[in-house]
Amino acid sequence: MVKKILRKITSYVGSLPTFNYYIMSLTILISFIGVMVIFSASSNLTIKYNTGPFHYVLRHAMFSVGGVILMLVASIIDFRFYKRWYAWIYILALFLLGAALWAGPFRVFYNGYAKRGIRLIGFSFMPSDVYKIASIIFLASFLTKRARYAGEFFRGFIITLIVLSPSIMIFMQPDLSTFLVVVITLGIMYLVGGFQKKFWLPVIGLMILGVLVFYFFGKGYQMNRIRAYLDPEKYAQSISWHIIHSLYAVSRGGLFGVGYGKSVLKYGYLADEVNSDMIFAVIAEEFGFVGSLAFILLVFALFILIIREAMKAKDLYPKLVLVGIGTLYFFQSFINIGVAINAIPNTGITLPFVSYGGTSVLIYFVMMGIVLNISRYNNMNKIEKKVSFNKKTR
């Protein structure tokens, strides 16, 4: 029985067109770099919490290997499956976001205030990571089915409210960085989806209102992050501690870095964020400007490959899904890198595939699996065109 099932699965997978191996290879390479950097960056944390030298790297490696398996599984699931179930996927994501806010016994508090996680059966995960992919699938499906309303102001505005309003739950956690990344991603998808510029007046108005609300009613720690960004030296011994030492780490790396495992700033200066929010500072210190630039080019190359697949897509739905995933990956990566060099205020967002954390790693691998599946169908369309052309020329 098992042999028969395995034979059928093998036969099905073998019948599929090949996917984009460059995307898969880059994803695995960036993930491998993440495992290496986690091993180095978490050395101080293993001493601080007496967890054993391999605690963090083994957990991260386990999630990365599990992620690769999920990516391969997602690469053989027809991407149109998500379109059929988009509403239920979105409802599940909203339910999990609500549970992080209001389901008392299951909530996980970060730094004593942020209600961003849920704990079940001894495991904690971040609903906002699930919401990222759910919102992309939802908006891609929604815009595809409602494309005929693209020129109608009222209906277009209602669609905008329906899609953006649940993101407020992320803001309430509070998780401003994820909120901004999701809103930017959905905004780019709107542009690609063909919705007219007139819809952006109310959307921009809502965003300005959101900024004003944040300014007047923002949490104290959020305002401190703005102050630390604007004048890091003034608050070097308090709220700018992470930023100042992140900049020290980057400058200490010089051109070629101090060498793998030889970072000094990871020993307490970057606190517990050394293997998550501030991990790029460790990359810069150990591998220098050349290593940092090489890593940034890998990130950019993966983004470009995803967008190229989006340009190949014949239909609007796969095009929007690819644009959403590519935009999300690009902005989240460069916001994390921007924080490390104080180009933008500290947002508390992770570096995809590299930062320590199970949910983010697994979800991003699933997203790359969806990208690979769409690339299969792009290749199939290419083969069909060649066959059709050959028939015509005979």
Whether the upstream peptide bond of residue 174 has omega within 30° of 0, thus cis, is yes
Most confident of 2-11, 85-94, 156-165, 232-241: 85-94
**Max Cα-Cα span within the chain:** 77
% the chain with pLDDT above 70? 65
Residue-level pLDDT at 220: 58
- Determine the Cα–Cα distance for residues 271 and 286; give it in Å rounded to an integer: 17
Buried b / exposed e over 280-294, threshold 16 CB at 10 Å, is bbbbbbbbbeebbee
Sorted by sequence, the CB contacts under 8 Å of residue 129 that are 6+ apart come out as 359, 360, 363
- Determine the Cα–Cα distance for residues 183 and 72; give it in Å rounded to an integer: 29
Backbone angles phi and psi of 115, in degrees to 5 = -90, 75
How much is the average pLDDT of 274-291?
Answer: 89
- Determine the Cα–Cα distance for residues 1 and 7; give it in Å rounded to an integer: 10
pLDDT, tens digit (0-9, with 9 covering 90-100), for 302-311: 999 999 999 9
User: Would you tell me how many other CB atoms lie within 10 Å of the CB of residue 99?
Assistant: 17
pTM for the model stands at 0.85
Lowest mean pLDDT among 98-107, 319-328, 351-360: 98-107
Query: Tokens 């460059």 identify what position?
Result: 22
| Residue, of 364 and 381, whose pLDDT is higher | 364
Backbone angles phi and psi of 125, in degrees to 5 = -145, 165
At residue 376, what is the residue type?
A: R
- Determine the Cα–Cα distance for residues 304 and 290; give it in Å rounded to an integer: 21
Percent helix, strand and coil across the chain, each to the nearest 5 = 75, 5, 25
pLDDT, tens digit (0-9, with 9 covering 90-100), for 65-119: 999 999 999 998 999 999 898 889 888 888 888 777 765 545 554 444 444 567 6
Average pLDDT of the chain is 78
How much is the average pLDDT of 201-212?
Answer: 59
- Give the start-to-end residue ranges of the domains of the chain: 27-73+240-394, 84-218
Buried b / exposed e over 149-166, threshold 16 CB at 10 Å, is ebeeeeebbebbeebbeb
Sorted by sequence, the CB contacts under 8 Å of residue 56 that are 6+ apart come out as 38, 39, 42, 45, 46, 275, 356
pLDDT, tens digit (0-9, with 9 covering 90-100), for 170-201: 766 666 777 788 888 888 888 887 665 555 66
Which one, of 224, 186, 206, lies nearest residue 321 by Cα? Answer: 186
Sorted by sequence, the CB contacts under 8 Å of residue 87 that are 6+ apart come out as 138
